[in-house]
């Protein structure tokens, strides 16, 4: 059902999808799956990088280290 609602989930394995859904309330733990869901998103920069529970990303970094800020 989740794959029907979010077509990008078709590109991840069932194991990865289960991990994403089970840790969805803690985005820092889901970050490792970003490159499987979105093309060329390598990592996120967080508002408070020391806080694992932080849910506010301020930008993302591409595979070429290009930073794209969120407005």
Q: For the segment 8-52, what is each residue's pLDDT rounded down to a tens digit?
A: 888 889 999 999 999 988 989 999 998 888 888 999 999 998 888
pLDDT band at 6 (very low <50, low <70, confident <90, very high): confident
pLDDT of residue 5: 85
Domain ranges for the chain:
2-69
In this structure, whether the domain defined by 2-69 belongs to CATH 3.40.50.1390 is answered with no
Q: Any idea which residue has 């994403």 for tokens?
A: 20
pLDDT of the residue at 7: 83
Q: How far apart are CA 37 and CA 25, in angstroms?
A: 17
**CA 44 – CA 56 distance, rounded (Å):** 10
Instruction: Take residue 22 and report the two structure tokens written for it.
Output: 């089970």
């Amino acid at each position: 059902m989740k794959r029907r609602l979010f077509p990008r989930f078709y590109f991840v394995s069932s194991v990865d999808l289960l991990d994403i859904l089970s840790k969805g309330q803690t985005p820092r733990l889901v970050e490792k799956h970003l490159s499987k869901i979105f093309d060329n998103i390598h990592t996120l920069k967080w508002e408070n990088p020391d806080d694992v529970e932080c849910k506010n990303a301020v930008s993302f970094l591409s595979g070429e280290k290009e930073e794209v800020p969120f407005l």
